[in-house]
Structure 1
Amino acid sequence: MPQLRRPLVVAVPTEDLREALASVPATDVVVWDLSGEPPRPDLDVVVVPYMSDPTALTALEGLRPLLVQSQSIGYEGVSAVLPAGLTFSNAAGVHETSTAELAIGLMIASQRRLPALIRAQADHRWAHAASLSLADSRVLVVGQGGVGRAVVSRLRPFEVDVVRVAATHREDAEGVVWAVGELPGLLPDADVVVLAVPLNASTVGLVNREFLATMRPGALLVNVARGQVVVTEDLVEAVRAGQIRAALDVVDPEPLPPEHALWDLDEVLLTPHVGGHSAAMRPRVVALLRRQLDALSAGAPPHNVVIPARTTTPPAGA
């Protein structure tokens, strides 16, 4: 990629991001949230609105930016709608810390019965009782990408027995990483199972009736991956039967309809897909964008490319 001889033209979805990048040399920053007409035809970088539906990317048809930059790690559904010829990067490095932090918080809150204690506080009841703990438990972390590794590193000081699971069996400096195919032999001994896998053809519906039935009775399922990794109907059935408990930052469908059964299950703790949406997000997004602009200005390849430019757009559902 040749070094650019003109200012980079960058479209960001918010005024806040425009201000954060205003001081970057040799850069023109404009605001565009992919709705309406693009502000100019010569955009070099387009930053996608956070948590937007992938179909918003159809607004890029006819444009030829050097890079389309997401503010999320996941990019499911993007390939089917990203116009041909465009390069797409995800936000690896932005959300892992906050998502792992929330995963730990969900584990502690569920194990130590914080929702029940908060309800007791609202009723002015002194509800002293013993609870489960995170210490001395066995925690299965399924998925060893950025989020999974961040969860593991934060679990270590809690004096837990961490069992790592990934797509394939291997060994590294920290010991064994078990394969997803070996889960049936691992689930019965786990007190907590954390889902931190990407959403793809091999993980859709991974947690189904059989998976849940194999878990230790009363164990906790924590999902900070994607809602479709879990078969929701099977999860509701298992929780209602008293088989397992759940702490979920992501669900299917999302957002969860007001009448959905998950809202009213005592052994389910819900947060509305806020794992990466913390005060740590903005500075890390800005830092990533600055690195991308430095690379593009120098004629270097962009970082975090997950969908390289191609000549044709795959059909929907591909």
Structure 2
Amino acid sequence: MRIAILDDYQNVALDFADWNSLDAEITVFTDPFGGRQEAVEALRGFDVVVAMRERTAFPAEVLHALPELRLLVSTGQRNAAIDLDAASAAGIVVSGTGYLPHPTAEATWALILAAARRLPAEERSVRDGGWQVPLTGEVGTALRGKTLGVLGLGRLGAQVSAIGAAFGMELIAWSRNLTAERAAEHGATAVPFDELLTSADVVTIHLVLSERTRGLLGARELGLMKQGALLVNTSRGPIVDEDALLAAVHRGGIRAALDVYDTEPLPVDHPLRSAPNTVLTPHIGYVSDDVYRVFYTDAVADIAAFAAGEPIRVMNEPAGHQ
């Protein structure tokens, strides 16, 4: 059996599970593919591919160009970059893995605190020989008594809310199906979308990317936010209109702390890299030892189960495997 492990940017996948138990030929790809054709050429001949969440796309044209592929393991419980119907038609089993939300909740708060207290600029100042020098004419912002607006109060949003409560923040929340009772269970008040944007000092996004949420925050919505408010996105880049966000941070109307982007990896010359009023991280919300151990241990178990003829955690209905 030939196994490809994709997009292992930090080259750590082999350290987090017992891959030797599979008695297979394993190839690790640490760099992203340059496009679909490069992916097809690199992956020809592999029986199994382990894909890291949504880093490499598997549309129909890629899946049908890989006739040897029989099992595609996606880390996590969903992967919008895989065409499940096309995989089913090609007879490819798609299996998922477990997932832990708490590292992303923690990373969300790392971004909030870094932006609120202007830590990246202060850290650079110390390294450059400065000491509490004027940075932008402003000082850091304390969070106690401020309002945290949570877009999406699922498992992840609820964890982020609990930490906000511990900081003494007022909690408000919105999603299309959020009830007052559900919000109250997490110490939050359910409010209309526009009211959340106009009231919150920090707006944090924890929604799944879909046709309903794509571009949810555009120029109008960003314009509703308080002067100097912070927008945090650890969900998916396209939920926010990137051009509108760039305009807003350049005006200084709002600040942004981002872990996700429309295009990933973020192009070297992307204007966000030099944008003011931003804190940027490279989609590492889920990148932690806890999560990687779950991802890769489950991936090994998925492959072993498939080899034994009993696939587990199957995300589709492939021909011949119903």
Q: Could you state the TM-score of these two structures normalised by the residue count of structure 2?
A: 0.76
Is this contact kept in 2: 1:92–1:146, CA < 8 A?
no
2:50 to 47, 51, 63: 47
Once structures 1 and 2 are overlaid, which stretch shifts more, 149-158 or 211-220? 149-158
Q: Structure 1: how far apart are the matches of 2:197 and 2:74? A: 34
1:209 to 184, 198, 219: 219
Q: Structure 2: how far apart are the matches of 1:91 and 1:258? A: 31
For residues 268-307 of structure 1, what are the structure 2 equivalents within 5 Å? Answer: 268-289=278-299, 292=302, 302-303=312-313, 305=314, 307=315
Is 2:93 aligned against 1:93?
A: no
Q: Structure 2: how far apart are the matches of 1:49 and 1:17? A: 10
Match of 2:262 in 1: 252
Q: Structure 2: how far apart are the matches of 1:266 and 1:17? A: 35
1:174 to 186, 201, 206: 186
The 3 A distance-change label for structure 1 pair 208 and 282 is same
Q: Structure 2: how far apart are the matches of 1:177 and 1:23? A: 50
Once structures 1 and 2 are overlaid, which stretch shifts more, 279-288 or 47-56? 47-56
Is this contact kept in 2: 1:10–1:28, CA < 8 A?
no
Once structures 1 and 2 are overlaid, which stretch shifts more, 132-141 or 79-88? 79-88
Q: Structure 1: how far apart are the matches of 2:162 and 2:302? A: 27
2:156 to 134, 138, 147: 147
Is 2:180 aligned against 1:162?
A: no
Match of 1:309 in 2: 317
**1:31 alignment partner AA:** I
Q: Structure 2: how far apart are the matches of 1:247 and 1:258? A: 18
Match of 1:38 in 2: 45
**2:247 alignment partner AA:** E
Q: Structure 2: how far apart are the matches of 1:156 and 1:278? A: 24
**1:132: how far off?**
0.6
Secondary structure in 2 aligned to 1:47? strand
Cα offsets for 1:182-214 (capped at 9, x unmatched): 211221110101112121111111110011011
Q: Structure 2: how far apart are the matches of 1:262 and 1:16? A: 28
Secondary structure in 2 aligned to 1:280? helix
Is this contact kept in 1: 2:96–2:299, CA < 8 A?
no
2:142 to 133, 148, 158: 133
**Structure 1: 5+ residue stretches without partners:** 1-8, 312-318
Question: How many residue pairs are counted as aligned between the two chains?
Answer: 291
**2:210 alignment partner AA:** N
Match of 2:83 in 1: 79
**1:38 alignment partner AA:** G
Q: Structure 2: how far apart are the matches of 1:291 and 1:166? A: 35
**1:62: how far off?**
3.2
Is this contact kept in 1: 2:76–2:99, CA < 8 A?
no
1:122 to 124, 127, 130: 127
Aligned CA-pair RMSD: 3.3
Cα offsets for 1:287-318 (capped at 9, x unmatched): 43366468768987733x5x42256xxxxxxx
Secondary structure in 1 aligned to 2:232? strand
**1:165: how far off?**
2.5
Q: Structure 1: how far apart are the matches of 2:307 and 2:77? A: 24
Is this contact kept in 2: 1:224–1:249, CA < 8 A?
yes
Secondary structure in 2 aligned to 1:88? strand
Which structure dedicates a bigger proportion of its chain to helix? 2
Secondary structure in 2 aligned to 1:193? strand
**1:115 alignment partner AA:** P
Secondary structure in 2 aligned to 1:55? coil
Q: Structure 2: how far apart are the matches of 1:91 and 1:195? A: 23
**1:10: how far off?**
8.2
Is 2:8 aligned against 1:13?
A: no
**1:120: how far off?**
1.9
Is this contact kept in 2: 1:140–1:193, CA < 8 A?
yes
The 3 A distance-change label for structure 1 pair 52 and 60 is farther
**2:196 alignment partner AA:** L
**1:236: how far off?**
1.1
The 3 A distance-change label for structure 1 pair 299 and 151 is farther
Q: Could you state the TM-score of these two structures normalised by the residue count of structure 1?
A: 0.77
Cα offsets for 1:148-193 (capped at 9, x unmatched): 23323433322222223333122233366747xx211221110101
Q: Structure 2: how far apart are the matches of 1:12 and 1:257? A: 25
Is this contact kept in 1: 2:229–2:254, CA < 8 A?
yes
